[in-house]
Amino acid sequence: MKKWSLFALPLVLFVSLAVFLYQGLFSDPRSRPSSVVDTPLPPMDLPDLMFPEQRYSVTDFEGKVTLLNVWGVWCVTCAIELPYLTELRQQGVNIVGLYYDQDVDPDFGQKTLAEIQQEVRLKLNQLGNPYQYNIFDTYRDYSLDLGVTGAPETFVIDKTGHIRMHHIGDVNPRVWEHKIGPMYQRLLQE
Amino acid sequence: MQRVIVMALLLFSLCAVASEEIYEFDDPAREALFKELTLELRCPQCQNQNIADSNAMIARDLRRKVYQLLQQGKSREEVIDYMKARYGDFVSYEPPVTPATIWLWVLPVGFVILAGWVIARSRPTARVDDEDKLAKANAMLENDE
């Protein structure tokens, strides 16, 4: 009896530890539950990137399902997903950009709005324009309210202006087919 | 000699936390709180760095937000709650006690108790019952010498 437990106890401990650590090998350290899912969009009062006199609030999201795509021209992965997002727009998906700039330091501004607009126009001409419009997150406060950690990230907003999905990373055919697409279709039915 | 001094100095050098921005506070207590919070809040993008230590944009933005919130007179708890509401428990280096994290405290204590129990049970009970054998062994030892 004693001999048996001396052998079995370490074995059980070892196996459970090994299983636990083995799972860790394949888990993505960056994936973690978002804390903004199933909450309403935070209050918004931000200008359009191209036409700053036009301002947006959360009521602009009501009545339609929207992909809110956080991006910037400086972001490499965003450039990769732009052509695919453009394809999705052609299929009728409603995509709105939340643009933020890296070089605009709110405390020591360096870049002018005209320069940013020029960069964006160039990029969208080159790779395709998936956006109905771009909201300019001037001080990057709004991305902070959304729990954005970096670009690109995509939020699925339902017809009542609630965030229903927070996707970190690029949108590609695989992600669309298995993750975002089904949610988008379901929300259209709601 | 100089070499020795330089090496001694290197031994005692500490890593400095470098950030470009300078935040000015009127109240030294608030400044201390700012330092404390930026050391305790975790950068959501870079793994395993606090926001005082990281130069990622998100860390810079979070530092700025901490500064703004403190200037608005928010307390330590309010700042942490503000961050947790947006970035989850991940953002704080102090994990809350939940059914999933309770094991962090229970397991080590349980292990110590288990080990104590095992040690207590397996105390060596070295007794020689046979007086004859003992005498024989002693005789052998003496013969050896």
The pLDDT assigned to B13 comes to 61
A7/A17 Cα distance (integer angstroms) = 16
Tell whether A11 is covered by a domain: no
> How many CB atoms lie under 10 A from the CB of residue B127?
5
Please give the residue that has the higher pLDDT: either B21 or B73.
Answer: B73
Picking from B22, B87, B101, B118 by the largest number of A CB atoms within 10 A of its own CB, the best residue to mutate is B87
B84/B90 Cα distance (integer angstroms) = 8
Chain A residue numbers touching B21 (CB-CB < 8 A): 107
The pLDDT assigned to B79 comes to 93
Q: A48 - beta bridge partners?
A: A135
**8 Å CB contact of A140 and B61:** yes
Task: Provide the shortest C-alpha distance from residue B62 to chain A (in Å).
Answer: 8
> How many CB atoms lie under 10 A from the CB of residue A61?
23
Tokens at A124, concatenated = 């969208």
Give the model's confidence band at B135: pLDDT under 50 very low, under 70 low, under 90 confident, else very high: confident
Give B83-110 pLDDT, tens digit per residue.
Answer: 998 988 888 888 788 888 888 899 999 9
Tell whether A137 is covered by a domain: yes
**8 Å CB contact of B86 and A36:** yes
The pLDDT assigned to A79 comes to 92
Chain B residue numbers touching A145 (CB-CB < 8 A): 86
Minimum mean pLDDT range among A61-70, B10-19, B105-114, B130-139 = B10-19
- Residue whose structure tokens are 């990769």: A80
Asked whether residue A28 carries a pLDDT value surpassing 80, the answer given is no
Q: What's at B22, amino acid-wise?
A: I
A2/A161 Cα distance (integer angstroms) = 64
Minimum mean pLDDT range among A120-134, A152-166, B3-17, B28-42 = B3-17
H, E, C per residue of A8-77: HHHHHHHHHHHHHHHHHHHCCCCCCCCCCCCCECCCCCEEECCCCCCEECHHHHCCCCEEEEEECCCCHH
Task: Provide the shortest C-alpha distance from residue A90 to chain B (in Å).
Answer: 32
Mode of pairing for the β-strands spanning A153-157 and A134-136: unpaired
Share of chain A above pLDDT 90, in %: 63
Helix (H, G, I), strand (E, B) or coil at B91: helix
The pLDDT assigned to A32 comes to 72
The pLDDT assigned to A107 comes to 54
Task: Provide the shortest C-alpha distance from residue B82 to chain A (in Å).
Answer: 9
Q: What is the CA radius of gyration of chain A?
A: 22
**8 Å CB contact of B90 and A29:** no
The pLDDT assigned to B89 comes to 85
Arithmetic mean of pLDDT, A112-128: 90
Asked whether residue B5 carries a pLDDT value surpassing 80, the answer given is no
Give B29-58 pLDDT, tens digit per residue.
Answer: 889 999 999 999 998 888 788 888 888 888
Tell whether A13 is covered by a domain: no
Q: Mind listing the domains of chain B with CATH numbers?
A: 2-91 (1.10.8.640)
Contacts across the A-B interface (CB distance below 8 Å): 38
Tell whether A24 is covered by a domain: no
What is the chain A residue with the closest CA to B111? Answer: A13
Asked whether residue A109 carries a pLDDT value surpassing 60, the answer given is no
**8 Å CB contact of B87 and A147:** yes
**8 Å CB contact of B88 and A32:** yes
Tell whether A17 is covered by a domain: no
**Dihedral of alpha carbons B1, B6, B8, B9, sign:** positive
Minimum mean pLDDT range among A86-95, A128-137, B58-67, B115-124 = B115-124
Chain B residue numbers touching A149 (CB-CB < 8 A): 44-45, 58, 87
Tell whether A110 is covered by a domain: yes
Please give the residue that has the higher pLDDT: either B69 or B10.
Answer: B69
ipTM more than 0.90? Answer: no
Asked if the peptide bond before residue B124 counts as cis, ω within 30 degrees of 0, the response is no
Minimum mean pLDDT range among A23-27, A86-90, A182-186 = A23-27
Tell whether A42 is covered by a domain: yes
Give the model's confidence band at B14: pLDDT under 50 very low, under 70 low, under 90 confident, else very high: low
Picking from A74, A144, A148 by the largest number of B CB atoms within 10 A of its own CB, the best residue to mutate is A144
A95/A170 Cα distance (integer angstroms) = 14
**8 Å CB contact of A144 and B57:** no
Give A38-92 pLDDT, tens digit per residue.
Answer: 899 999 999 999 999 999 999 999 999 999 999 999 889 999 999 999 999 999 9
> Residue A168 in contact with residue A28, Cβ under 8 Å?
no
Chain B residue numbers touching A33 (CB-CB < 8 A): 88
Q: What's at A173, amino acid-wise?
A: P
Task: Provide the shortest C-alpha distance from residue A57 to chain B (in Å).
Answer: 19
Chain B residue numbers touching A32 (CB-CB < 8 A): 88, 90
Q: What CATH number has the domain bearing residue A184?
A: 3.40.30.10
List the domain range (segments joined by +) for residue A79. 35-189
Domain count, chain A: 1
